[in-house]
Copies of this chain bind each other. A is one copy, B any other.
Amino acid sequence: MFPVSDIRDLGRHEADGAAVRGWVQTTRVHGRVAFVVVRDGTGIVQCVVVQKEVSPDLWQLVQELTLECSVIVAGAVRADARAPGGFEMSVQQLTLVGASEDYPIQPKEHGVDFLLDHRHLWLRSSQQRAIMRVRSEVEQAIHDFFHQRNFVRIDTPILTGSIGEGGAGLFPVDYFEEQAYLAQTGQLYGEAAAAAFGRIYCFGPTFRAEKSKTRRHLTEFWMVEPEVAWNDSEDNIRLQEDFVSYIVERALERCRDELETLERDIAPLERVKPPFPRLDYSEAIRILQEKGHEIKWGDDLGAPDETVLAEGFDRPVFIVNYPKEAKAFYMKENPDDPRTVLCDDLLAPEGYGEIIGGSQREDDHDRLLARIREQGLPEESYTWYLELRKYGTFPHSGFGLGLERTVAWITGRPHIREMIPFPRMLNRLYP
């Protein structure tokens, strides 16, 4: 009996051998020697079967192994720098657990729709696994960052009345006799909690019923949204710098192998350290106009504008103080230029575009109410939100970082649909 081991831990079993349990990634037969690469989720190991050392039945079984069949393999273990994973197993026992006939994803080019239709299997491929591991590590980094700084995690509701940001579409839900909508943001709830706990964050799925089919849109995506009492816009920007730098550093520290699998050039990530450069919105418009973009003061920035602005910098860049009309109702007016609000968008370098939107919040009851009315939002849904300005109002700021866009930038991949285990897009609810 060989002791069962994760592939990652095979180094502990050079003396006694081991059994590993996993899925067949590749098989190659060279005359009387066969090489079977097995994956178990913790690593991969090359298993070598020598015909004269095993029974005829086992040798026969090896010939019949197919892509993604599940197996238990046991034998002697030795380090081998040339072997994928760094260890090689000399197979003495082999059990086929689950066959795999005509596995749909073969080692050839498949169209993206085909791959998305088979997402439940596509996740097993090495690049997709690397992406998901980076995502998982980034998520842990997010929690650790806030936990270490004594933020209270507050899970904001998904099912809401018609309260939201305005703008992007809402998904309606039949909620017993009422009409509910899926939350576009947790921020408004986070503001209520900031008065109880000082510093809070939420991190969960958010929903936008936008008919966009760009490579930067999902209908369901994850967003982390801290909210901090007494922070002004300046404090808010510093928190963003620290936060983004922390996440990138963790990925570099813990996901080297994954970034290598993805052929990510890590030099640009190593430059991500505070402070980040800042551009005033008006300055950004001037630069874009000089470069021939058709844009005028007052417009929101589009993806091509963001790419051009970010090009001039070797780390993420803040665009600050947008015109009121281009932004959500809850942002605080800029006292130095009342046409604008105290806000920032953070653009990732290398053309990855906006990963954060942040702002100081309007803390004056009457101004906030006026903005809600100006934007034609359903006033009665915002009653409780307005009450936060009636009972001990306070300066506060926060931001939202889009997880999938951030992971796309860190992993160096163009499409955010690969950044979430089961992407939801226009026309895609399956699997």
Spell out A's residues near B (CB within 8 Å): 6, 8, 21-24, 40-42, 68-70, 97-101, 103-104, 118, 120-121, 123-124, 128-129, 132-133, 135-136, 139-140, 143, 147, 150, 152-161, 171-176, 178, 180, 182, 189, 192-199, 204-205, 207, 209, 211, 219-220, 222, 229-230, 363, 384-385, 387-395, 420-422, 424, 426-427, 429-431
Q: What are the 4 closest A-B residue pairs judged by CB atoms, nearest first?
A: A41-B198, A98-B393, A70-B392, A384-B431
* 16 residue pairs from A and B, CB less than 8 Å apart: A41-B229, A42-B150, A70-B195, A98-B393, A129-B197, A132-B154, A132-B193, A133-B197, A139-B143, A154-B421, A155-B205, A155-B421, A159-B424, A189-B431, A204-B204, A384-B431
The answer to whether A178 and B69 touch across the interface, beta carbons within 8 angstroms, is no
CA distance A23 to B132 in the complex (A): 42
CA distance A387 to B122 in the complex (A): 12
The answer to whether A176 and B211 touch across the interface, beta carbons within 8 angstroms, is yes
The answer to whether A198 and B42 touch across the interface, beta carbons within 8 angstroms, is yes
CA distance A150 to B429 in the complex (A): 29
Most chain-B Cβ atoms within 10 A of its Cβ — which of A118, A219, A391?
A: A391
Task: Identify the closest chain B residue to A117 (Cβ).
Answer: B384
The answer to whether B175 and A171 touch across the interface, beta carbons within 8 angstroms, is yes
What's the nearest-Cβ distance from chain B to residue A63, in Å? 17
What's the nearest-Cβ distance from chain B to residue A265, in Å? 24
CA distance A68 to B220 in the complex (A): 37
The answer to whether B422 and A229 touch across the interface, beta carbons within 8 angstroms, is no
Which of B8, B230, B393 interacts with A21 by CB under 8 Å? B230
Contacts of A121 in B (CB 8 A): 192, 387, 391
CA distance A161 to B384 in the complex (A): 34
Contacts of A431 in B (CB 8 A): 189, 192, 384-385
What's the nearest-Cβ distance from chain B to residue A171, in Å? 5
Given A23-B392, A420-B155, residue A40 in contact with residue B193 (CB < 8 A): no
The answer to whether B68 and A391 touch across the interface, beta carbons within 8 angstroms, is yes
The answer to whether A157 and B422 touch across the interface, beta carbons within 8 angstroms, is yes
Contacts of A120 in B (CB 8 A): 189, 192, 384-385, 387-388
The answer to whether B392 and A100 touch across the interface, beta carbons within 8 angstroms, is yes
What's the nearest-Cβ distance from chain B to residue A141, in Å? 10
What's the nearest-Cβ distance from chain B to residue A182, in Å? 7
CA distance A390 to B70 in the complex (A): 10
The answer to whether B198 and A40 touch across the interface, beta carbons within 8 angstroms, is yes
Task: Identify the closest chain B residue to A69 (Cβ).
Answer: B392
The answer to whether B41 and A196 touch across the interface, beta carbons within 8 angstroms, is yes
The answer to whether A193 and B421 touch across the interface, beta carbons within 8 angstroms, is yes
The answer to whether B42 and A196 touch across the interface, beta carbons within 8 angstroms, is no
Given A172-B174, A198-B42, A205-B204, residue A394 in contact with residue B150 (CB < 8 A): no
Question: Beyond A171-B175, A384-B430: 18 further Cβ-contacts under 8 Å?
Answer: A6-B150, A40-B198, A42-B150, A42-B198, A97-B392, A98-B363, A98-B389, A121-B192, A123-B192, A123-B193, A129-B196, A132-B193, A132-B196, A155-B421, A161-B429, A176-B209, A176-B426, A205-B205
Contacts of A389 in B (CB 8 A): 98
Contacts of A420 in B (CB 8 A): 155
The answer to whether A123 and B196 touch across the interface, beta carbons within 8 angstroms, is yes
Contacts of A155 in B (CB 8 A): 135, 139, 205, 222, 420-421
What's the nearest-Cβ distance from chain B to residue A113, in Å? 15
What's the nearest-Cβ distance from chain B to residue A117, in Å? 9
